[in-house]
Amino acid sequence: MKTIWLATNNLHKLEEFQSMLKDKAQVKCLKDLNRPVEIQETGTTFEENALIKAKSLYNVLHEPVISDDSGLEVDAMDGMPGVYSARFMGEDTSYEIKNQAIIDAVQGKKRTARYVCVIAYIDENGKEKTFRGTIEGEINEIPLGDKGFGYDPIFYYPPFHTTLANVSEEMKNSVSHRGAALRLFLTDLGEAL
């Protein structure tokens, strides 16, 4: 089975990628390395940040690498937190606090929002590609659900009539921004995996 390295320390992302890739590849992440890889997310777009992460790991391993940059864009907040979603209000700030701040920010305003995910892939020869997936929704009035992670408890998905944190991982992956980007990636790679 082919190994693909995922440029993250986030075990939730590792589980999501492995779940969606199933038996097509074994996914390993930065925690599986025996040395640190310094990654500075200095991009201003999801595409730039995804490629920065992938290149940082590829330059160490020279093996197939996948990375993603994803986040929540809230229309009433001019697209924030956007590429700063993980660092919004500080990296050590809990998502309970971040989620409440977003709920407060959209009070009386348009609640529309979207998750965006860009996957960057660098193959063993250094060829780069990116794949963008989105999911449209709204900011829920209260956090709801205990599944998922991050902003999922406040991301209301109208077709499900609830938040992404209130459905199974399988349901979430069937419509998620990361799932959409990963399906584009898998379609593009086809038999390469």
Please tell me whether 12 is known to bind a ligand. yes
Please tell me whether 8 is known to bind a ligand. yes
Please tell me whether 111 is known to bind a ligand. no
Please pick, among 69, 75, 78, 92, the residue that the annotation labels catalytic. Answer: 69
Q: Which element (helix H / strand E) includes 20?
A: helix 11-21
Cβ contacts of 180 within 8 Å, gap of 6 or more = 117, 133, 134, 135
- CA-to-CA distance for 69 and 177, rounded, in angstroms? 11
Please tell me whether 78 is known to bind a ligand. no
3-class DSSP state for residue 122?
Answer: strand
- CA-to-CA distance for 14 and 64, rounded, in angstroms? 15
User: What SS3 string covers 71-112?
Assistant: EEEEHHHCCCEHHHCCCCCCCCCCHHHHHHHHHHHCCCCCCE
- The verdict on whether 69 is a catalytic residue reads yes
Please tell me whether 58 is known to bind a ligand. no
Please tell me whether 75 is known to bind a ligand. no
Please tell me whether 184 is known to bind a ligand. no
Please tell me whether 87 is known to bind a ligand. no
Please tell me whether 11 is known to bind a ligand. yes
3-class DSSP state for residue 170?
Answer: helix
- Residues with active-site annotation: 69
Please report, in range form, the residues annotated as the binding site: 8-13, 69-70, 149-152, 172, 177-178
| Binding site, annotated residues for substrate | 8-13, 70, 149-152, 172, 177-178
Binding site residues for Mg(2+), as ranges?
Answer: 69
